[in-house]
Amino acid sequence: MASAFDSTLAGLGISRASSGVSVQAASSAGTTLGQADFLKLMTAQMQNQDPFNPTDNTQMVAQMAQFSSLAGISEMSSTLKAISDKLGATSTADAVSYVGRTVLTAGNTAYGRTSGGLAGAVELGAAATDVTVTITNAGGQILHSSSLGAQAAGTVNYDWDGKDQSGADAGAGPFTVTVNARDGNKTIAATNLAWAPVESVSTASGKAVLTLPGLGQVPVTAVRQIG
């Protein structure tokens, strides 16, 4: 069975076995003809046409129109990609505006609020019959553990007053937050979302990356909410 490449040659009136034409088969990795391939094939057709039966002018114009259309589509594709990249990028001014603000993002390390305690959220992959949030200090000691009860899939908020199990002030942290969600005996995927202040922003890679205490570098696209 003739390959797509052979079919294209045949459509242009070129035989792979023609004595005056040497055409290499397209590799299996590249079966798509580009602008350069199209132009080479058309040029080969003109150079090797039968002088007693030249290519019809109408066919030549049609082929030129196809080439022009291909070039236009390729240029339009490049332009649209550039526009898409520009719209998807975060400008320096936008990135700088994050500094000094707090953001909600995935992470197990959290710091207390200036007013005491901390707030966070749990992102659930499915409905759960019980969701438990446990907060420990840097030494691994449990300071607080509470059940949020049954929750639907999605995001559920929680708030801790900053007091340990004896009622004493637990300080500013850092704290480690562990979440456990279950649907009966089945474990449900759960991600802790922590609030963290933005210390600095980097745009070196062309995309804004936030530096958050305890969480490290986090891309802007990972931010769930801005405080």
Same domain for 106 and 164?
A: yes
How far is 55 from 82, CA to CA, in rounded Å? 39
pLDDT at 147: 92
Residue 39, number of CB atoms within 10 A of its CB = 13
| Digit-coded pLDDT (tens) for 91-127 | 566 777 888 888 899 999 988 888 888 899 999 999 9
Last residue of a domain, one of 88, 107, 129: 88
Residue where a domain stops, chosen among 33, 63, 88: 88
Contact 81, 75 (CB under 8 A): no
Tell whether 216 and 106 lie within a shared domain: yes
Same domain, 82 and 98: no
Q: Per-residue pLDDT tens for 134-191?
A: 999 888 899 999 999 999 999 999 999 988 888 888 888 889 999 999 999 999 999 9
Indicate whether 74 and 97 sit together in one domain: no
195 & 146 share domain:
yes
Range of the domain at 8: 4-88
Based on the fold, state whether residues 167 and 77 are members of the same structural domain: no
Q: For 134-138, which contacts have Cβ atoms below 8 Å and span 24 or more sequence positions?
A: 134/177, 134/178, 134/179, 134/180, 135/110, 135/160, 135/175, 135/176, 135/177, 135/178, 136/175, 136/176, 136/178, 137/170, 137/171, 137/173, 137/175, 137/176, 138/173, 138/174, 138/176
Q: Are residues 79 and 108 in the same domain?
A: no
Under the banding of pLDDT at 50, 70 and 90, the label for residue 7 is low
Q: CB atoms < 10 A from the CB of 64, how many?
A: 11
- The pTM of the full predicted model, rounded to 2 decimals, is 0.56
Number of structural domains in the chain:
2
Q: What is the SS3 assignment for 114?
A: coil
Gap between the Cα atoms of 181 and 124, Å rounded: 8
Mean pLDDT of the chain: 77
Q: Please tell me whether residues 119 and 193 are part of one structural domain.
A: yes
Are 118 and 208 in a shared domain? yes
Q: Are residues 120 and 190 in the same domain?
A: yes
Same domain? For 65 and 117 the reply is no
Tokens linked to 178: 């562990």
Q: Is the pLDDT of residue 13 over 60?
A: no
Centre a 10 Å sphere on the Cβ of residue 182 and count the other Cβ atoms it contains.
14
**pLDDT band, residue 18 (cuts 50/70/90):** very low
Q: Are residue 178 and residue 75 in the same domain, yes or no?
A: no
User: Which among 40, 57, 88 is the end of a domain?
Assistant: 88
